[in-house]
Amino acid sequence: ASFLLLCFRSPLIFGLLLQAPFTQLSSITQPNFVLLLADDLGIGDVGCYGNDTIRTPNIDRLAKEGVKLTQHIAAAPLCTPSRAAFLTGRYPIRSGMDAINNYRVIFWNAGSGGLPPNETTFAKILQQQGYSTGLIGKWHQGVNCESRNDHCHHPLKHGFDYFYGLPFTLISDCEPTETPEMDRAFRRKLLLSTQMIGLITLTAVLGRLTGLISVHWKILTCLAVFSFLFFISWYSSYGFVRYWNCIMMRNHEITEQPMVTDRTTSLILRESISFIERNKQKPFLLFLSFLHSHTPLLTTEKFLGKSRHSLYGDNVEEMDWMVGQVLDAIDKAGLKDTTLIYFASDHGGWLERQEGERQLGGWNGIYRGGKGMGGWEGGNRVPGIFRWPGVLPAGTVIDEPTSLMDIYPTVVHLAGGEVPQDRVMDGRDLLPLLRGTAAHSEHEFLFHYCGIHLHAVRWHQKDTGAVWKAHYVTPIFSPPGAGACYDRGVCPCFGEGVTHHDPPLLFELSQDPSEAKPLSADTEPLFDTVIRKIGRAIEEHRRTLSAVPEQLSVSNVVWKPWLQPCCGTFPFCWCDKEGEN
């Protein structure tokens, strides 16, 4: 009532401008939600964020018809922890989904780690509010805990009524013609060790046969058995990655093992449009978790060779076309004005992903660093676009710090639900900011983790508009002078591959978004004040953390045969039910 009174007292033109969107919001009690999340897409890969060589007309149309966020921040620079934060509205360290070691993501469908059952996703709350909830595409939050059919981490246990896609993630191992990607360096070491053990065994046998070496046959037999068992122990997992990890599921049923990559894109698009059509008479949540633009960059023939940026550009342009197909399906169903659409990427582009002279990872524009780097802006700043005609003002650009974790409270509140009160929530409701009724983001501090290690903190000084960022740990780029960890493939979070800074490196992002010129007490009068303020925020933040089981510990990450999803009788796991249909 007080708000309406204020409108009547305002100038007539101001009241007329505000009346339409507020009337729309009050008349839509439960809007539909379509959440579009790209994989490894750099902020510099999208036209509306400055790219003029990769064509993304449909994503650009979303920005033109909606709200574009310029400081949209992922909670982690890698898939598994970032998506855990997106689904739960909490930093991944709170759910145990950040790593204490170098295994920073879910590595196997047959691992026992994953999004804990006691975490409440936004899908679960919307399900309780009467929504039909669907996840199409990538999951990468684990599958089983104790047996291959308990599905304790499965999407259907986390609030989704329907799931079609990869329980794991897309990797180059899924494409038989591509160079294996998964744990590449470790596999080389295992193969080399196997060759060395085999060479020693063969040398000993030949020496015994020629009489040059006096070795008992029992010792040779034990050595041969050890060589064989060592080989089997690792080849049984790494030798069949395509069968163990590259599978497609519909709900709990495996439909392809291994996946047939030539038709994956068309199936994911078909399933997404079908979900919209099946549920257009009731409120729904569709989470379309793209496999684009993660390697091996599955791209249909229609788009191959069409972009100016080789296969990566082709792949991004195909994803944009898929976005357009989903938008057309929404329009065809008459749902455009009752559907909130969101587009983002789970983190920044992968700078180090190359094969020879081919660049297979994304571009992060003017921002330093990329995927895997806990603090640098290029690993965390991502596209963020919302469209809701009649409710959100079209063509709006918001330069305030926001987070992927903010999706949680935003959709929950719009659906009429309540965020959990029994745990710390890190996301903030974005609707007031998106609609222009709030001038500033509710985030004062955002914390940038690399695994469980805090690498950087940003402080939004709202009274001045300054955005300070302090780096306490940064990766050491290799080779020296490069802008990424090309010698390693992914930058580390700790150990000899990082530098600790005391005092921290300080940047003012509104003046230096590329983080090119660190400030000091000599060049910035507020340096000590800012560092103290951020230091106190870190202390307060750490007091809110509590010990939880580590989901990415070595014991949870390793391949366990008894947890392996299998279409058939293990270890003979193979099926193609899509082909049969």
Q: Is 145 a catalytic residue?
A: no
- Tokens representing residue 310 in the block: 């080789």
What count of other Cβ atoms lies within 10 Å of the Cβ of residue 546? 9
- Tokens representing residue 278 in the block: 């099946």
Say which of 7, 48, 72, 79 is annotated catalytic: 79
Q: What are phi and psi of 491, to 5 degrees?
A: -70, 145
Max Cα–Cα distance, the chain, nearest Å: 106
Say which of 140, 453, 455, 471 is annotated catalytic: 140
- Spatial contact of 327 and 358, defined as CB atoms under 8 Å apart: no
Q: Cα separation of 87 and 80, whole Å?
A: 11
- Tokens representing residue 116 in the block: 């804990």
- Tokens 């949540």: give the residue: 285
Phi-psi region of 416 (alpha: psi -120 to 50; beta: other; left: phi over 0): left
| DSSP per position, 95-147 | HT-S-SSS--S---TT-S--S-TT---HHHHHHHTT-EEEEEEE--S---SSS
Q: Is 440 a catalytic residue?
A: no
Partner residues linked to 508 by β-bridges? 468
Omega prior to 293 cis, within 30 of 0: yes
Q: Cα separation of 259 and 503, whole Å?
A: 50
Nearest to 452 by CA among 142, 108, 97, 74: 97
Nearest to 284 by CA among 415, 373, 152, 385: 415
Q: Cα separation of 377 and 380, whole Å?
A: 5
| DSSP per position, 519-573 | B-TTT-TTHHHHHHHHHHHHHHHHHT------TTSHHHHS--GGG---SEETTEE
H/E run at residue 253: strand 253-257
Q: Cα separation of 341 and 305, whole Å?
A: 30
Sign of CA dihedral 392, 285, 143, 546: positive
Helices (H) and strands (E) in the chain, counts: 17, 19
- Tokens representing residue 39 in the block: 């994989």
Partner residues linked to 344 by β-bridges? 37, 384
Nearest to 466 by CA among 533, 400, 522: 400
Task: List the catalytic residues.
Answer: 79, 140
